[in-house]
Amino acid sequence: MADALVFSLLDKELKRQREGIELIASENFTSLEVMKAMGSVATNKYAEGYPGKRYYGGCEVVDEIETLAIERLKQAFKASWANVQPHSGAQANTAVFLACLKPGDKILGLDLSMGGHLTHGSPANFSGKTYQAFFYGVDKETGLVNYEQLEQIARTEKPKMIICGASAYSRDWDYKRIRSVADEIGALVLADIAHPAGLIAAGVLNDPFDHCHIVTSTTHKTLRGPRGGVIMMRNDFDNPYGIKDPKGNIRSMSSLLDLAVFPGMQGGPLEHVIAAKAVAFGEILDPSFKTYQLDVQQNAQTMAAAFVAKGYHLISGGTVNHLMLIDLRNKNITGKKAQETLDRAHITLNKNAVPFDDKSPFVTSGIRIGVPAITTRGLKAEHMGTVVEMIDTVLMNADDEQVVTNVRNEVKSFMLQFPLYPELG
Ligand code: DSN
């Protein structure tokens, strides 16, 4: 018997997704097959351990599913090892820290207020509470990662781990340069590619794997899979600094990472999500995935140029990936008000601190815009001008509810041209 209340809410959410313009840079629309695998019987199975080494009986089928997910992911990124069990990107990062660091060890990551991520050492997060965190930022003029500052802090503080990766950074990374200073001071390099993972898998952005010891990602952003995390390595770097397991033995980096995920910080893996990851990783291997990522990049660049033409200030002047960060200070509207007003027009994005922001993280001076979801809906470069026009109309008339309502109606009829899950009725 259907739970009328929950399923009517899910219908409402489908309608919201169909009728709105989804611009949250970390969201996407999975295939129906990904969703089907996630809503499957695999949710019923306990499988603590790893394929072939489980603590429960009856794991022969989920062993095959998890092995398939691992093998497809390795193929997609030309990795030599992968763990597909982390429940999220935050869990993946936690496992890496647990495997490689001791409480109190120093880490160095991109400042949250400059586009970094909570799990890269923010004082509000376990990473900042457990480890001694230092931060590099971006250059005030160019908006690009300040590699000189990164190197200077690395040489002075000698962190055990340098983290590269961001949640709101529209440029590529110089992984080689980061590895070079890491080697100088004996640090490991972690690349958290949660945001640009799809573009990296498609070969559209720099490849971190030959330079970074460990790579983590989420699976639901540009990778377009179910919500979840993964950890990968291209080469098992063979534990260059002799890190020991909880029993005091020096082991391979891959086995340290496996042990950190389970039993270190998670219990039973979500085999239904792992099944959905396997489907998504299969989709990465299809040539259409590269076309999609090229469309993402093209849409982002076209949209960025349209904003610049309207006098918007983009951090770093533009984008090479799937997102852009806009400083709204010259437009006299805060990030908070922009997000809330656009929400009423069914244009969904998030307020975001901009580098050197003078407003609190609850207000912010900026907005972050990403195109992975609308690109999945089928929007192409020629549609970006329309989207920018609608956003600009709302932001320039934020106190005029009639204008906002008019745009909401336009958004609905515009997006109905791009059907979402027509099979769901
Ligand atoms: N919440 C994710 C994002 O929006 O970028 C990061 O964890």
CATH code, domain carrying 152? 3.40.640.10
- pLDDT, residue 1, reads 61
- Is-catalytic flag, 192? yes
Query: 217 - beta bridge partners?
Result: 230
Burial (Cβ within 10 Å: 0-12, 13-18, ≥19) of residue 293: buried
Q: What is the DSSP letter of 359?
A: S
For ligand 1, say whether the CB of 167 is within 6 Å of any of its atoms: yes
* Domain co-membership, 39 together with 160: yes
Cα–Cα–Cα angle for 219, 286, 41, rounded to 5 degrees: 55
CA 293 to chain centre: 14
CA distances from 417 to 21, 204, 378 (A): 12, 28, 9
Residue 366: name the closest of 331, 401, 316 by CA.
331
Please identify, among 237, 257, 284, the residue that sits at the C-terminal boundary of a domain: 284
Active site residue 247: no
d(CA 362, CA 404): 23
Q: What is the pLDDT of residue 246?
A: 85
Give the pair of three-digit tokens for residue 100. Answer: 């490689």
- Distance, CA 26 to ligand 1 centroid (Å)? 6
- Answer yes or no: is pLDDT of 4 > 90: yes
pLDDT in tens, 396-411: 999 999 999 999 999 9
Residue 129 in tokens: 């509470």
> Which structure tokens are listed for 368?
């972050």
- Ligand 1: does its nearest atom lie under 6 Å from the Cβ of 26? yes
Residues 170 and 215 in one domain: yes
Model pLDDT for residues 340-383, shown as the tens digit of each residue:
999 999 999 999 999 999 999 999 999 999 999 999 999 999 99
b/e burial code for range 127-141 (CB count within 10 A of at least 16 → b): bbebbbbbbbbbeee
Checking 135-140 for CB contacts under 8 A at 24+ apart, the result is: 135/108, 135/109, 135/110, 135/111, 136/108, 136/109, 136/110, 136/111, 137/110, 137/111, 137/355, 138/110, 138/114, 138/169, 138/315, 138/316, 138/355, 140/355, 140/356
218 included as an active-site residue: yes
Quick one: what percent of the chain has pLDDT higher than 70? 100
Instruction: Kindly state whether residues 273 and 336 are assigned to the same domain.
Output: no
Q: Is 239 in the same domain as 106?
A: yes
Is residue 287 packed enough to be buried (19+ CB in 10 Å), middle (13-18) or exposed (0-12)?
exposed
Residue 122 falls inside a structural domain: yes
Task: Provide the residue range defining the domain that includes 236.
Answer: 33-284
Shared domain check, 67 and 179: yes
Q: How far is CA 424 from the centre of its chain?
A: 27
Rounded CA Rg of the chain: 22
Average pLDDT over residues 146-168: 98
Taking only the tens place, the pLDDT of each residue in 170-206 is: 999 999 999 999 999 999 999 999 999 999 999 999 9
* 241 and 331 part of one domain: no
Query: Does residue 106 sit within a domain?
Result: yes
Tell me the mean pLDDT in the region 303-307.
98
Residues 33-53 have a mean pLDDT of 98
Distance CA 160, CA 134 (A): 11
Q: Are 195 and 222 in contact (CB under 8 A)?
A: yes
What pLDDT does 76 receive?
98
Please say which residue of 284, 305, 338 terminates a domain. Answer: 284
DSSP string, 210-253: TT-SEEEEESSSTT--SS-EEEEESS----TT--B-TTS-B--H
State whether 92 and 69 are in the same domain.
Answer: yes
221 has catalytic annotation? yes
Give me the phi and psi of 73, to 5 degrees please: -65, -45
How many domains in the chain? 2
Q: Tell me the helices (H) and strands (E) count for the chain, helix number first.
A: 15, 15
- Residues 6+ positions from 389 with CB-CB distance below 8 Å: none
Question: Does residue 130 register a pLDDT over 80?
Answer: yes
Q: Ligand 1 within 6 A of 91 CB?
A: no
CA-nearest residue for atom 6, ligand 1, is 167
Question: Is residue 46 over pLDDT 80?
Answer: yes
pLDDT digits (tens, 9 = 90+) for 71-113: 999 999 999 999 999 999 999 999 999 999 999 999 999 999 9
Both 227 and 306 in one domain: the answer is no
Between CA 370 and CA 22 the distance in angstroms is 8
Catalytic residue among 19, 27, 46, 63: 46
Residue type, 362: F
Q: Which atom of ligand 1 is nearest to the CA of 350?
A: 4
Residues 305, 221, single domain; the answer is: no
Cis peptide before 123 (omega within 30 of 0): no
Residues 277 and 309 in one domain: no
How confident is the model at residue 239, as a pLDDT? 86
pLDDT at 366: 98
113 close to ligand 1 (CB < 6 Angstrom):
no
Asked whether residue 24 is assigned to any structural domain, the reply reads: no
What pTM did the predictor assign?
0.97
Instruction: Give me the DSSP letters along 245-277.
Output: -TTS-B--HHHHHHHIIIIII--S--HHHHHHH
State whether 278 and 403 are in the same domain.
Answer: no
Residue 20 falls inside a structural domain = no
Q: Is the pLDDT of residue 236 over 90?
A: no
Place of tokens 């912010």: 364
What region does 151 belong to: left with phi over 0, alpha with psi -120 to 50, or beta? Answer: alpha
